[in-house]
Structure 1
């Protein structure tokens, strides 16, 4: 599974760092929207970088956005994170409206970095760069 994220967004980068810490089975790989690989994955999903209000989860030929992506990611982390599935009880139009509002305002609320998040050597192979084939 590949997570496409905004590497200049501080909350997005914090989310990736959280996943690197808690993804003990190493299920996830990552691509930033600032990379060619990330931009290509977004384009395949029909998403435009300039108006992006979601992270993208690519699972084989399927992709997920907004709260569906977040909840699927948390489910993959196992207990206790999979308990977040209770959020499926909230109608998606409500969950996703809140998610999109935060995403639209992410730089103002959480801040923005002038440089992209870079993984340490231990995690570098989990990131898809322009030379890595996205599987």
Structure 2
């Protein structure tokens, strides 16, 4: 998708694991390089559909990285690399076979609500976090 923001994380805003991960990345990314959009927002739904993800039953998040829309373990690894040291060092797991990494990702994604719960409504950013969120599609 040309013209899409770089460093944008499309996440499941009602998933406690996903929302907690977003809050953690916001705290670790002190330069504010990573931005966020919940799949439940207008823009999130649009991005999900453009990349073959059902916005009502998401099985992966997307991370837009240097013009590429990444999913599953590739998205996690690209996101870790953006955080810088020491967090980027965790991307060393990229030496493992992608099938193993994606298998672990698929298991966690399939069980995320059971393991960590689900919110009744989408995570909303605090006023301090608002600048890091994109909720509406950009005007072309």
> Scaled by the length of structure 1, what TM-score is found?
0.92
Partner of 2:14: 8
- How far the C-alpha of 1:59 sits from its partner, in A, is 2.6
Check the 8 A contact 2:8/2:35 in 1, yes or no: yes
- Rounded to whole Å, the distance in 1 between the matches of 2:56 and 2:122 is 16
- How far the C-alpha of 1:50 sits from its partner, in A, is 3.6
Structure 1 runs of 4+ with >3 Å offset: none
Whether 2:41 is the aligned partner of 1:48: answer: no
Partner of 1:62: 68
Picking from 100, 123, 138, the partner of 1:133 is 138
CA pair 97-134 structure 1, distance change in 2 beyond 3 A: farther
- Rounded to whole Å, the distance in 2 between the matches of 1:83 and 1:129 is 31
Partner of 2:77: 71
- How far the C-alpha of 1:42 sits from its partner, in A, is 1.0
Matches within 5 A, 1:34-113: 34-113=40-119
- How far the C-alpha of 1:97 sits from its partner, in A, is 0.7
Matches within 5 A, 1:11-30: 11-30=17-36
Q: Kindly report the root-mean-square deviation, in angstroms, between the aligned alpha carbons of the 2 structures.
A: 1.6
Question: SS state of the match for residue 53, structure 1?
Answer: coil
Check the 8 A contact 1:37/1:134 in 2, yes or no: no
> Scaled by the length of structure 2, what TM-score is found?
0.89
CA pair 77-134 structure 1, distance change in 2 beyond 3 A: farther
Unaligned runs of 5+ in 1: none
